[in-house]
Structure 1
Amino acid sequence: MFFLMRGNILSRALSAAASLARGPECQGHLEEIRGVRLRGWAWRPSRPDEKLVVEFISAKRRIGEATAALFRPDLKQAGIGDGSHGFEFELPRDLLDGRERVIHARFKHSGVELDHSPRLLRPSCLGALDEPAGAALSGWAWDPYHPEAAQEIEIEVDGRVESVLTASEMRPDLRQAGIGDGRHGFRFDLPLRLLDGRLHEVRARVASSGFELDHSPRQFQLAFEGCLDGVFEGEVHG
């Protein structure tokens, strides 16, 4: 009985100590794994100007760290200092080997884990929606666990599906970066009706799973420029 009570007291004491370290001293939250990125926030209420460093562990191996210094309006609104306590971390490519991984996030200075750590990394597609260029949108998508498969990409503008494309265009930059054989790009030419000078929002996601690509949504504001000079000998000039 004595040993049982002693064990219970010790367990409660350790639990309380961990709670204190995570609570009043430092607070943080590992929010999600989206694509190849981890996202969350961390801060020390007693030192609101300090930027904490969060380190990441997988299979007892340190895989990297991030400084929680990104500004996020939602954090500011929630009273998390001035809001500049967010972090993002891109997972190393050697973890994308088709196996599930458990990812831990902890305060570097204390080793105490953030709330909602660890999280499970499951196989999923990689991809990104590039910055709009001219009257066209482009990007890429690739499933590292099925590297030969071309992904179907759904393009949505202002809540309306405009097109479903196959990400199969060759892009040398993808091949150089190790994204399969490089044939995983896509391009979408914007309809003229969207070149109206108004602000529009575009989203790109994998049609089969709903997985939204990195940097989606994006906004664009473009106007059609041109004029009709006339018709000469049956030819239109402008």
Structure 2
Amino acid sequence: MISGSIDKLTPKGAVGWIYQANSESPSLLRAFLNGEVIGETVADLYRPDLHQVGLGDGHCGFEMSFGRALTESQLPFVKIKPEKIDLSLSLTEKTIYLDLLHALMRNAEGAGRTRSVLGGFWTDRTDAAQVLAGRIAVGSCPAELQPMLQELILNGYVVLPSVLAPKGLQAKDGTALVSIEQRAKATVATIKDVLDSMAKLLFRDSTVRLMRNIFDDHPIIYRLDRLKEETGFHQAASVEALPSPAESLLIYAAFPGASVRLDIIRDSHEMGEFGPAGFSRWTADGARELGAMAEKQGLSIEEVEFNNLDLVIVGPGLVHRVVASEESAVLRALAVPRRVTPLKYLSGAQSWVEATHVSGAKVRV
């Protein structure tokens, strides 16, 4: 049995330990970079912390100096192995890859990248405008979608006025959604009828084409909510647990009645991923934290009003809240690409009922 780890790795050397239960002599370790030996030492230093947990007499620590100084970008490729054994020690300090990222960013400040360590859509990249121009130039994206995609990239959301004309969202659609929420009182056939009508309403040609070009995939709506009054600040990934939270959109439409609005924290889709308390904005706590900070510090909040003929598509990471009166209500739909499935379905905890639109887009609840 062999155990050990690299506790610290710097451009000048490494610190760690290795323990072989049946060995009578300390291990000889060598450090490699691209097959070249850059350091060598014997693991015989006394480590009281290892002695206390029963790893022999504790004389299994090591401090190794490299024969030449490395750069930060080379550190992730360093391997430290015991002699005659094909085993690389693992690195306890996992920030080494973030150090690599920071080193690369310093050397290539203009390089495009996603704003989240989780990745995400191309629209969430720092060079999204250039990517869009390239897509238009090579014909992979229709030129008529350019204004809407530019608005989504710049503002984090896009309003599609009167796209639901001539009738738009109706009061009866809200009643139907209530029957879905109270699933115990609705048959599968009833739910499917509701989903069919929702698919025909939301998946207009213009909306499907837009989402396909954002997703690089077919859209699937996994959640339909009827909201009233004021919600707390949130963003798309805080509505449903997703394996890839940076790949999600929220779609809003108003039921008939007084106009409703979204309060949007301006440019929040471009803010850093983590807030002062360490919460990621991809989580519910992170979105609430950013919303509270916006109100306290007087950050710019943009008000976006819309009615039952309009659709508002909110991109990933944009923190916002819904404001509606008691007499009015808002439909909120969570849309993700076909390659993404909410965790509750992946775990097998729940099954779904679905409706497939003629465009190939789907609604599943």
Tell me whether the two structures share a fold, i.e. TM-score over 0.5. no
TM-score w.r.t. structure 2 length?
A: 0.24
Higher helix proportion: 2
Higher strand proportion: 1
Which fold has the larger relative contact order, with Cα–Cα distance below 8 Å and residues 6 or more apart in sequence? 2
TM-score w.r.t. structure 1 length?
A: 0.36
Q: Which has the larger radius of gyration?
A: 2
